[in-house]
């Protein structure tokens, strides 16, 4: 596959991954009647959109990274920072999935938890895009 296909997959995956994850956390943090039906619906979105989008983003990113690793990325500090933030974002996605699973099973999960998670995921997304665009400490 050509590099443009991997880039397209990476951008598309990142947009859907971060967008759906932040959207789900904002919806889960909304001060409404906390019903398990809402939790199950949000969990379905996470399992059907967020997680597959994360995998597409990683596949596209690694498709660009691996062929050019030694020439371009092995010496780029911004890429190391970006990959570290991506691991944190993937972990936050796992936390989101776990919290939604617990809520859907009837356990009490504070709305404030989802609000904080939305901020964390949004900030990580902005930092990742900033590193990718501006390539600081190159």
Residue spans of the domains in the chain: they are: 3-134
Average model confidence (pLDDT) for the chain? 92
Comparing 52 with 33, the larger pLDDT belongs to 52
pLDDT tens-digit readout, 75-126: 888 999 999 999 999 999 999 999 999 998 988 889 899 999 999 999 999 9
Beta carbons within 8 Å of 87's beta carbon, 6+ residues apart: none
This prediction has a pTM of 0.92
Question: How many whole angstroms separate alpha carbon 96 and alpha carbon 74?
Answer: 31
Q: Mean pLDDT over residues 29-49, rounded?
A: 85
Contact 50, 94 (CB under 8 A): no
pLDDT at 22 (0 to 100): 96
Decide if pLDDT at 71 tops 80: no
Comparing 63 with 1, the larger pLDDT belongs to 63
Contact 110, 28 (CB under 8 A): no
In the numeric block, which tokens belong to residue 46? Answer: 């996470």
52 pLDDT band, cuts 50/70/90, is very high
Within the chain, residue ranges assigned H as helices are 3-29, 36-45, 51-65, 77-104, 111-134
């Amino acid at each position: 596959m050509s590099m443009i296909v991997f880039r397209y997959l990476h951008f598309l995956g990142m947009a859907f991954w971060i967008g759906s994850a932040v959207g789900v956390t904002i919806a889960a943090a909304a001060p409404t009647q906390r019903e398990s039906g809402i939790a199950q619906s949000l969990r379905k979105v996470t399992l059907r959109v967020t997680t597959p989008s994360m995998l597409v983003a990683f596949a596209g990113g690694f498709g660009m990274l691996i062929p050019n690793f030694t020439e371009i990325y092995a010496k780029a500090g911004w890429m190391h920072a970006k990959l570290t933030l991506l691991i944190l974002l993937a972990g936050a996605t796992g936390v989101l999935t776990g919290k939604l699973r617990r809520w859907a099973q009837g356990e009490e999960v504070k709305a404030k938890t989802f609000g904080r998670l939305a901020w964390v995921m949004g900030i990580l997304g902005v930092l990742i895009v900033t590193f990718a665009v501006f390539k600081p400490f190159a």
